[in-house]
Amino acid sequence: MADLLVLVRHGESSWNAGRRLQGQADAQLSDRGREQARALRPVLADLPAVQVVSSDLSRALATAELAGHAAPLTDRRWRERHMGDWTGHYESEIPDDRMTAFRHDDLVPPKAETFADVQARVGAAIDDLAGRGGSWLVFTHGGPVRAAVAHVTGADHRAVAGPGNTSITVFELAPKRRLLTFNWAHDAGAIPRASEPGGARIAVSAATGDARRA
């Protein structure tokens, strides 16, 4: 059976709802975010056995708990990108040209992390989990999800769109690293499974963790 890495972006925070730049500020889930997190529970219950890790920020931890995974291990490397002097500002307060340049990674806010820094710490966290073996479920943030895609696939992070709240992204860590599912909306049904070359779909039994060709 393949070792998987399943990344879940946290539910909507009060700052997401207000289009406020939060970075590593510890914003709480909104009421909608809490509903989104609860809706993850039956979907994640269909996963094979996983070990659970979370960013230590409360919006990720609350998402994990409401999704049925209370008291996960925490790892600061899965935190969102630090926004420096822009932390707490509303997007409307930032001039449009500067906001656009930031989103295209042509501008780093004063005292903020570069995306290269984010990708380095997320990549190290992924390599550590892969080295420990087994499958992992990680509750994290949009920036680290993009960084993970870039780290595993070698893609330019600027070509990776930001994932939605409580979206699911799945990687295979072993026997080889590859992206299986990106920015999947959990209200669309069961998490898609990868297919092998030739189109044979690999189905995984939640009860046994055994893989079989479907």
The backbone torsions φ and ψ at residue 188, rounded to the nearest 5 degrees and listed phi first, read: -90, 0
List, in sequence order, every beta strand (DSSP E) within 18-167: 51-54, 73-74, 136-140
Greatest CA separation found in the chain?
A: 53
What span, in angstroms and rounded, lies between the C-alpha atoms of 170 and 180? 5
Question: Peptide bond preceding 95: is omega within 30 degrees of 0, i.e. cis?
Answer: no
Q: Of these residues, 12, 80, 113, 172, which one is catalytic?
A: 80
Q: Is 10 tagged catalytic? A: yes
Nearest to 86 by CA among 17, 22, 16: 22
Locate 70 and state its tokens.
């209370």
C-beta separation of 26 from 57 below 8 A: yes
Stated length of the chain: 214
**Choosing from 10, 69, 141, 151, which is the catalytic residue?**
10
Q: Quick check: helix, strand or coil at residue 108?
A: coil
In whole angstroms, how far apart are CA 204 and each of 2, 127, 130?
A: 10, 24, 20
Quote the CA–CA distance of 207 and 18 in Å, as a whole number: 41
80 catalytic per annotation? yes
Catalytic sites, residue numbers: 10, 80
